[in-house]
Amino acid sequence: MELTYQPYELQLKHAFTIAKFSRTSTPVMLVQISHESKTGYGEASMVPYMGESHQSAAEFLSKVDIRQFSYPFDFGAIVNYLDSIAPGNPAIKAAFDIALHDLDGKLKKQPCWQLLGSNPALMPVTSFTIGIDTPEMIIKKVKEAEGFKVIKVKLGRDTDKELITTIRSVTDVPLYVDANQGWSDLQQSLDMTHWLHEQGVQLIEQPMLKTDPDSNAWLTERSPIPIIGDEAVQRFEDVEKAKGVYTGINIKLMKSAGLYEAKRMIDKARELDLKIMIGCMTETSCAALAGLAIAPQADWVDLDGPFLVSNNPYVMPEFSGGKYILNHDPGLGLRLS
């Protein structure tokens, strides 16, 4: 078995601004694992606030002893091994896990979505994300979202209502909003949930600080819109903590350390009667297809990463009617450009 990897800088089509910061690119690490003439592809998208970088990813991978793995893969044991190397580092662990799932599918000659128990016919629509911006740029971005059935809006500043009003001046499609922990006043937040409900908003991600479960639980109990835990829900052990605090959870492979744990999180969330969203960072088609392998098991999907970047090194996944179309290729179904 052979491991190779290359650093890559993913360029955004527009500056991406959320409640607490703005960026124009995202460092990613492209990973390949080869075995028996087949190669599995993985990706780590390392958004700055998660604390990973090209350097940290390379240092982590240099400690991985690929020679100890054998086929068929014991994904649970592999996750435990990667966690034993160093805490944190979920994105580069996800890249390793995704590459192994892609390789596993290719060796078994089956698509990953099938191996993970998904039904392509149940694929939800995916949202198109619009960051905080000027009214002129917001309108431009809305026009770029033509073909999408849902728009996701970043909120968390004192211009929240203006941003929503601007979007509503040009489209009436349903909205998701993500406050990225940007709200603080409970009564104002509750008032905002009712106003957003009137504007056709279907869910709100992480309104209050992730370290303040009491405030999030208070808002969830009173909000007319589902409240979704995002930053507060990283890995499997966080799912149970979300019960009674949020309506549902946002599972991202770059937080969960990959598909194996994400699938466990889905099963646990269903057991706890929590709704499920499958989200993403700024990603290429590789990580997006990994998310899509489990997306039919979710209530909502936000896997728009490849649409937001200008230098995706892979072929775009098939997309029609606001939904991704899963193919029957072995593994992830990733196609090289």
- State how far the Cα of 212 lies from the Cα of 31, in Å rounded to an integer: 36
- State how far the Cα of 99 lies from the Cα of 331, in Å rounded to an integer: 9
Instruction: Judge whether 210 counts as a catalytic residue.
Output: no
Q: What order of strands is seen across the sheet that includes strand 248-252?
A: 127-130, 150-154, 175-178, 201-205, 227-229, 248-252, 275-279, 300-301
CA separation (Å) from 289 to 75, 166, 193, 231?
19, 32, 32, 22
74: annotated binding-site residue? no
- Catalytic residue, chosen from 93, 154, 275, 323, is 154
Per the structure block, which two tokens stand in for 115? Answer: 């191996």
- Catalytic residue, chosen from 141, 252, 263, 268, is 252
CA separation (Å) from 38 to 101, 104, 110, 260?
12, 9, 13, 20
DSSP-assigned letter for residue 49: G
Strand 38-45 and strand 22-35: pairing? antiparallel
178: annotated binding-site residue? yes
Contact 123, 322 (CB under 8 A): no
Strand 150-154 and strand 175-178: pairing? parallel
Instruction: Judge whether 38 counts as a catalytic residue.
Output: no
Nearest alpha-carbon partner for 156 in 19, 21, 16: 19
- State how far the Cα of 170 lies from the Cα of 174, in Å rounded to an integer: 12
Residues in the chain: 337
DSSP-assigned letter for residue 314: B
Contact 197, 173 (CB under 8 A): no
205: annotated binding-site residue? yes
Calculate ∠ Cα 126-130-133, nearest 5°.
175
Task: Pick out the residues of the known binding site.
Answer: 178, 205, 230
Residues annotated as catalytic (active site), given as ranges: 154, 252
Task: Pick out the residues of the known binding site for Mg(2+).
Answer: 178, 205, 230
